[in-house]
Amino acid sequence: DSGVTQTPKHLITATGQRVTLRCSPRSGDLSVYWYQQSLDQGLQFLIQYYNGEERAKGNILERFSAQQFPDLHSELNLSSLELGDSALYFCASSAHGVAWETQYFGPGTRLLVL
């Protein structure tokens, strides 16, 4: 158990809908990262937050947005969902958000868009 929690574990929804994925980092970690993992793309970095502020952006679509709240939990919002958005979404956390730190991954949310 990494100490990172994610809810829900599974999510099934329809095309065009909007969903929110939630992540709580390890106690004491200030930085949160979101990743998408699909069979054909591998693990793709989406976005990073540090202490409530966006710090780095990866291959995140405009239909996706995220935020980190004062209590350091983070939410990833996915809207106008398409079939291709079906994937595992991982949240990871690290202490200070610096690149050489180990990232601790949560168990993931498996999203299925029908």
Partner 1 sequence: GQNIDQPTEMTATEGAIVQINCTYQTSGFNGLFWYQQHAGEAPTFLSYNVLDGLEEKGRFSSFLSRSKGYSYLLLKELQMKDSASYLCAGRWTGGSYIPTFGRGTSLIVHP
What residues contact residue 62 under an 8 Å CB cut-off, 6+ apart? none
Work out whether 33 is an interface residue with partner 1 (CB under 8 A).
Answer: yes
Tell me how many residues contact partner 1 (CB under 8 A). Answer: 24
Work out whether 2 is an interface residue with partner 1 (CB under 8 A).
Answer: yes
Tell me the per-residue interface mask from 93 to 112 with partner 1, x by CB under 8 A, - otherwise: ------xx-xxxxxxx-x--
Least distance to partner 1, CB of residue 33, Å: 7
| Core vs surface per residue 47-67: b (16+ CB within 10 A) or e | bbbbeeeeeeeeebeeebebe
Q: Of the listed pieces 15-23, 38-46, 69-77, 79-87, which binds partner 1 according to CB under 8 A?
A: 38-46
Concatenated DSSP letters for 17-71? --EEEEEEPPTT--EEEEEEEETTTEEEEEEEEETTEEEEE-S--TTEEEEE-TT
Least distance to partner 1, CB of residue 57, Å: 7
Footprint on this chain of partner 1 (rule: CB under 8 A) = 2, 4, 33, 41-45, 48, 56-58, 88, 90, 99-100, 102-108, 110
